[in-house]
Structure 1
Amino acid sequence: MSKPLIGVTTYLDQARWGVWDLPAALLPAAYPRLVQAGGGHAVMLPPDEPYAAAAVVARLDALVVAGGADVEPVRYGAEPDPRTGPPARERDAWELALVEAALASGTPLLGICRGMQLLNVARGGTLVQHLDGHVEAVGVIGRHEVKPVPGTLYAALVPEAASVPTYHHQAVDRLGAGLAPSAYAEDGTVEAVELPGPGWALGVQWHPEMGEDLRVIRGLVAAARARRG
């Protein structure tokens, strides 16, 4: 059986390489390497028109929504906190449309950091715009422990408390409709959410692409294979 095709969303930013300094669709190499290590083929999904999301998702076996900029607070009905970063409006519109298309079609979905927050917002939830203790230093990935909630999809993949790579200053506040928390940090921060039901939709607040534990990505790949039949 061929490997499942897994789309990964990208940044849209100014970048320099060689002699060039141009707008670029960017994705840290750790993301496609994670998908490949988990048994999938990775394809990059740069921001596009939201109306195209359903057609794009229809060609994928699974979707990964990558980390990145803070979700614009207007998306969940809030005024921006002074510590909230500048918006990435093209990414917000495109990735929310992708999330909604994946949920509507039953396409397996993994949200990573920002991706988990977008999953929550897509379901009508809100975000804490700033919290301390989950960033070790600017540009430095830290680690802390998360504990799974028994009986959840995440707990079936990772049944024990685990140390995870973390870099975030925002988190889930009010859970979106139908979502259930599936892991917590020691300070009570929701570290994973999922959508119970026949599909496979999981968001993790940490960065599995920066670690060695492949159980979450292997779970996504297995769900992609099962759905493809």
Structure 2
Amino acid sequence: MNSLIVRQVGLPPPLIAVPATPEGKPLHVVEIVGTQPPEEGPHEGANGANAVNDTDRLGATRLVERLVERLSGSGGIRFTVVCPSEGPFAERIRSLGAETVIVAMPEDPPWHAIQVLVGLIRNRQAEVLHAHLPNAHRLAGLAGGLTRTPVLSTVQGQQLDMPDLEVHRLIASQLSVVTEASYFHALGLGIAPERISCEPIEADTPEDVAAGSLEALGQRLRALGGTSASRGAAQARALAQPLTGSGGALGR
């Protein structure tokens, strides 16, 4: 991989200025992981058209562990990790100090999973959703759209899958890719450069090399969380509105 190009495309896009976190409160990010590591069992959609290979599964789960380990606490971010099943991966996340929520994540998100994530966002005042793999991106897109919570999805592999493109176009989610090939593939599909960045990191990337990509992802998450105050106020007003009648939210 050409290091010059990596530096160019790996820069986070100019989303918004990153404000100081109010009163030192850490940013609350919900990591939605659409699988468990390969050694813990098959992917829920392994037999479907959108099967996820073991390399992408390992890359996604390892990335989440590294993010939680590096950016929790002193990194100014508080993590909650949504996993599809219990197991050693979920236990490792808990040992790193992150809250862990278990909910099934098939390729087509069930209503129960959407309700769980919406309840988590509202109850825990989550400010950003960070999805990993297409099934998680779909779930994050639906829950993020309902709660007006920004979504960043990290795409593994050499190209964007159709589910990632569909969700991106539906809710204008932000994208992060881990290879140059997928970055230029996304641009070729018409995705705006300011909505995508490349943070090259794989499961076996050495820690010192991965540090820059992890910090870049942290910067993007903080930038996306910068409008949380106004978004939260809007959500509170929406929840307080009556659902029927000429003066209600549905009558306007």
Asked which structure has the greater RCO (Cα within 8 Å, sep 6+), the reply is 2
More helix by share: 2
Category of TM-score, reference length = shorter chain? 0.3 to 0.5
More strand by share: 1
**TM-score normalised according to structure 1 size:** 0.46
